Structure 1
Amino acid sequence: MTGRDETDLPGGWEAAAAEYVLGLLPEAEARAFHARLGQDRDLQRDVEAWQDYFSTLTDEIAPVAPPPQVLRRIEARLYGRRRRGFGSSLLPYLLGAVTAGALAWAALTTGLVGPAEDPHLYAELRVPDRGLDMLAHWSPETGTFMVRWDGGDYPDDRALQIWVIPEGAETPLSVGLIARGEGLTSIWLPEDLAAQVPGATVAISEEPEGGSPTGLPTGPVLASGLLDARIPASL
């Protein structure tokens, strides 16, 4: 844990990292947290440490099937009134751990854990003539869009901006800027933008420092790729 003294959030950034992992931060605080997360490697380590810690709390809890009426209410909340086939057959086991472990329950009911059919999505983004090598990753469980920097030099006095182009659309939507000097950029997406990520194309453009002044790409598009559930060989 970082133990930083200065904070803009109640309880400190370290406490906020714990609430983030559990999906308990209010939306306004979550936005502030994610804005800082992409730039603060110590904060990223806090998140990783809390994830490791909380995951151990349910390791030895045996699954317990919830009462049928509880299961029906949870299914209705997650999927609507229509029952799902395979996903529903797995739900008693998931909810058994939820019943036994309050942390897993909090993650499920706050949306930190999405339905089982929501896959992680990836896109490899390479610019051979510049030596740039990046991997985009969408995590539906945490609602974060990540870009891992694997090689190449960040352009001087310029910014690299991330865009998604929803399936069937022509207008790119800004996700944010790739953090300079960091191996991983992690950006939380609001629900309206997150809903448009599946099936979208991700693109990286070169922009003035601070990002595009128009809300659309103004510089060259360096790389693009379709977000896909297939796990890339670079992982």
Structure 2
Amino acid sequence: MTPDRDDRLLAAEFVLGLLDAETRAAAERRLASDAAFARDVAAWQKHFAAFDDTADAVVPADDLWRRIEAGMAAAAPAALVTPPGLLRRLWNSLGALRIAALSGTAAAVAFALVAVVSLRHADEVAARKPVYVAILVDDATRQAGAIVNAFADGRVEMIPLVDMTVPAGRTLQVWTLWNREVGPRSVGLLDRARATPLDLQRLPTTAADQLFEITLEPAGGSPTGRPTGPILYKGTTARTL
């Protein structure tokens, strides 16, 4: 999820009152210093204004309905005139008004909640789907040994597909190469084949045709900062569909 989308969802949840006390307090502090966040909050408040229960109640004048009834009687055809006193009886029927108000508000709130939850669910699904995938294979046997997944938020993970035997005193080291002039960079050390996040935070964003490989190195990793042992598996990234 991008920061802009995170802020828009946070602003919507703030306006709807869905945040816990700590998160809401933090959001209130941001309103005073973050103009973009304040604009998002104002936009959602306008969007949800129809059912904003924070608005001050307005008490109608005593003769309001008498004047409305008189005006309607004068303007409408006789067959369509509201029976005298009907509007006043409806006004005085708190039960009917509460049912109507709550029904409308509940429907609006439910719609808003579905919209917010749907946006968050879509972002969560997108965040779980990798942007680039590399299948690392053994050049000799063409057997796939691991998969590397790179996500839109910068996370990169490696998932082994086979049990890689690691002799005593040796370690598995994962490398990536995005620029031959710069050379390969180590992004992970493993004592055994297991799913693990790779450390690419200080490197350029993962792109298409980026090389990943696994080598067998001395315990503690390559002493030179470059691959020295045999390459077990390697492959390049491709964008997912």
| Bigger Cα Rg | 2
TM over 0.5: no
| TM-score, normalisation: structure 1 | 0.43
Per residue, is there more helix in 1 or in 2? Answer: 2
